[in-house]
Amino acid sequence: MCGGELLKAHSASQRRRGKHAVAASKRKIRIALRDQRIFCSDCIKYLLRSGRHI
């Protein structure tokens, strides 16, 4: 199976699972991004507090 066929099969299976699966994956991505942002801001605060220059 070549790349194009694999992609078609994947999108077809996602269509069968419906919009719920897409919404769930988008939600997972959003949560991961939010967690990453919180982690980054904590790191920056720590660096600023410790007095180190980036």
Q: How do the domains of the chain map onto residue ranges?
A: 20-54
Is residue 31's pLDDT more than 50?
yes
Q: Which two tokens stand for residue 46?
A: 């720590």
Confidence of residue 54 (pLDDT cuts 50, 70, 90): low
Q: Rounded CA gap, 39 and 34, in Å?
A: 9
pTM of this structure: 0.42
Q: Rounded CA gap, 23 and 33, in Å?
A: 15
Confidence of residue 11 (pLDDT cuts 50, 70, 90): low
